[in-house]
Structure 1
Amino acid sequence: MALTSLFLDMKDKNVLIVGMGSVGIRRSRRFIEAEANVYIVTKDVDNDIKDELISKGAKFYSNDHLDELIEMCDLVVVATSDHELNNEVAYKAKDKLINCASDTSVSNVIVPSTFEIGSVIVSLYTNSKSPLMAKALRKKIQETITPADILNIELQEHLRIPLKENIQSQLDRKKFMEIIKDNAEIQSLLDADKLDEAINLADELLSKYIIEVRK
């Protein structure tokens, strides 16, 4: 596969999950959280898991409905322990987006390990070489991104609109963002979790900066 990273809006998209092992359960929860319509075909599933997924909007079907579900769905996730069945479903869904965790050769979509830290979304994929290292790298990233980093994002989001409204040059806007990022007093406030005070100081600096740019 020639892969590139994308974030897809899955709201109201139809997703078929075939199989309810650990992968199928994780994928079901993930796409339900993404507000997709989730349809599940499986022979066996823990009753508590089934009740949980149904309560969140998932619908369960027998194998008799497999072909029609493949036809109606935008994405097909094959997650059974039966490799022959996986290949059969993948072949039937060859014109669809398809993810098969056990065999990437029949997939055209990879569902990476994904997690959120504040407003930051991080996805990791090791080309199926080492799920263990993906887990280790996830832990390292979570330890590296600090609360102050997240507050910096919130601060810069606050500044984007007045910057666009008052400064035409993208280079000048970028320059001001860099000034804010490198301002020791502002960064000290963010380190102390004082976002409101950092915003007030940044607004003062922005007012002065706008006057300078317009001269």
Structure 2
Amino acid sequence: MAYFPMFVNLKDQPCLVVGGGMVAYRKVKVLLDFEARVVVVGENICDKIYEIVKKSNQLELQKKCFEDADCDNMFMVIAATDDNLLNHHIAEICNSKGIMVNAVDQKEDCSFIFSSYIKEKNLIAAFSSGGNSPVLAQYLKSQEKEILTPFLGELNEYMGKIRKRVIEKYDTEEKRKEIFKEIVNTAIENGELPQE
């Protein structure tokens, strides 16, 4: 399979995680990090997921057996049970309905895969091994942490605030690019955001 790297807006999108163990917990954390509305369906739900639900109004728990209808109206589904046949069944339902699906550790049943990522505000670096070696993707993430710092996250926010003004002020793409590069380079060199 050849996976296309893209970033999807999950804000307030309904996402289903089937399963309640530690794998499901890690997927829930990622989805909430990107502001999805998450429903967890599972007969046994681990304490870590219960801890999150106390802090998040974006997470709903349903302690029950999975039913096919649970996938209805979902933007994305993650099959994170320890039952490979059930995960495969969930993937088939989602594929028939055009819903993006990830069946954990069953690459052939995935229409997308989770990347290993670093996030500083809206600045994100993501790594994927195409499902071949999550450990290698984690290694790349650990190396990138030294580069993608909280300061760069702040700089990215600043660039978003001034973007419209720069576009309005300079009428050529070439000039805008030059101005944006100068701002970024100066901020990184000085280690501080420009004064407005």
* TM-score exceeds 0.5: yes
Contact 1:70–1:76, Cα closer than 8 Å, also in 2: yes
SS in structure 2 at match of 1:93 = helix
Q: Take 1:121 and 1:98, find their aligned partners in 2: how far apart are those partners?
A: 22
CA shift in 2, pair 1:62/1:180, >3 Å: closer
Q: Could you tell me which residue of structure 2 aligns to residue 40 of structure 1?
A: 40
1:171 counterpart = 2:170: no
Q: 2:62 aligns with which of 46, 51, 60?
A: 60
CA shift in 2, pair 1:111/1:181, >3 Å: closer
1:49 counterpart = 2:51: no
For 1:110-136, what per-residue CA distance to the aligned partner results, in whole angstroms no more than 9, with x for missing partners?
121222135421111111222222121
Q: Take 2:175 and 2:28, find their aligned partners in 1: how far apart are those partners?
A: 45
Q: Take 1:22 and 1:106, find their aligned partners in 2: how far apart are those partners?
A: 20
Higher helix share: 1
- Displacement of 1:105: 0.6
Q: Could you tell me which residue of structure 2 aligns to residue 82 of structure 1?
A: 83
Identical-pair percentage = 23
1:125 counterpart = 2:128: yes
**TM-score of the pair, normalised by structure 2:** 0.81
Q: Take 1:26 and 1:37, find their aligned partners in 2: how far apart are those partners?
A: 15
SS in structure 2 at match of 1:20 = coil
Paired letter, 2:168 = E
Q: Which runs of 5+ in 2 are unaligned?
A: none
Contact 1:76–1:97, Cα closer than 8 Å, also in 2: yes
- Displacement of 1:49: 2.6
Q: Take 1:126 and 1:54, find their aligned partners in 2: how far apart are those partners?
A: 31
Q: Which runs of 5+ in 1 are unaligned?
A: 201-215
SS in structure 2 at match of 1:86 = helix
- Displacement of 1:98: 0.6
Paired letter, 1:71 = D
Q: Take 2:169 and 2:159, find their aligned partners in 1: how far apart are those partners?
A: 15
CA shift in 2, pair 1:174/1:68, >3 Å: same
Report the count of equivalent residues: 191
Q: Could you tell me which residue of structure 2 aligns to residue 205 of structure 1?
A: none
Q: Could you tell me which residue of structure 1 aligns to residue 71 of structure 2?
A: 70
Q: Which has the larger radius of gyration?
A: 1
Q: Could you tell me which residue of structure 2 aligns to residue 31 of structure 1?
A: 31
Q: Could you tell me which residue of structure 2 aligns to residue 3 of structure 1?
A: 3
CA shift in 2, pair 1:53/1:164, >3 Å: same
For 1:30-69, what per-residue CA distance to the aligned partner results, in whole angstroms no more than 9, with x for missing partners?
22343333222222223x3343243223221411x51111
Q: Take 2:18 and 2:114, find their aligned partners in 1: how far apart are those partners?
A: 15
1:199 counterpart = 2:183: no
- Displacement of 1:15: 1.4
Q: Take 1:147 and 1:85, find their aligned partners in 2: how far apart are those partners?
A: 40
Paired letter, 2:89 = E
CA shift in 2, pair 1:172/1:43, >3 Å: same
Contact 1:41–1:66, Cα closer than 8 Å, also in 2: no
Larger mean CA deviation between 128-137 and 174-183 belongs to: 174-183
Paired letter, 1:92 = I
